Amino acid sequence: MPFKIVIGLDGNPTGDRALAHAKKMAKLIKPSELIVVHVIEWSPYSFQTPEENAARHKQRKEELAAATARITDPAVADLTKDGYKASGVVRHGDVADILNTIAVEAGAEQIIVARTSEGGLVQRIFGSSTVKLVTHASVPVTVVV
C-alpha cells in the first residue's frame, strides 16, 4: 500500500517548496503516491436569485477548469515525468476543510503545504488556512517555509 501525501498548492510560487519537500519524502518512503490539491475558496452562504445561482454555477465550472489547467495539471505532469505516481484534485470550499477531507478520503498519511507571507493584518488576527489546517487536521501536516 503506498504512502499517500496530499500537497496543497495555492497557485503561488511558494507551492514549489511544498512540491520539492513532497518529492524528497516520496523518495525516502516507497511506494508513495502524491495527490496535488488546489482549493478555490468559496462560500455557499450567500443569498442569491435563481439567475445569480445559475451564473455562479457556470463561473464555478470555469474556475475549476482554469485551476486544473494552470495549477494541478502542470504539477502532476512534472511529478509523473520525474517518475512519481501523482494525481490532481481541484475543489471549491474552505481550504483547510477540503485538504483534510481529501486526505481522509484518500487514506493519506501526510499533508504538505507551504507557508505564505501574504494575508496581512486580518489573517494575523483571525488566523489563516494553514493555522486552521494544522490545528484541525486528521493527519500530520508539514508546513514548508
pLDDT tens, 45-96?
A: 566 667 776 777 788 889 999 999 999 999 999 999 999 999 999 998 889 9
Q: For helices 73-81 and 15-28, give the axis angle rounded to 10 degrees.
A: 30
pLDDT (0 to 100) of residue 145: 82
8-27 pLDDT tens trace: 998 888 889 999 999 999 99
Task: Say which residue, 117 or 134, is predicted with more confidence.
Answer: 134
7-106, superfamily in CATH?
Answer: HUPs (3.40.50.620)
CB 109 within 8 A of CB 25: no
Which cell goes with 49? 436569485
DSSP assignment of the chain, as one string?
Answer: --EEEEEEE-SSTTHHHHHHHHHHHHHHSSSEEEEEEEEE---S-----HHHHHHHHHHHHHHHHHHIIIIIHHHHHHHHHTT-EEEEEEEES-HHHHHHHHHHHHT-SEEEEE-----HHHHHHH--HHHHHHHH-SS-EEEE-
User: What is the average per-residue pLDDT within 90-113?
Assistant: 95
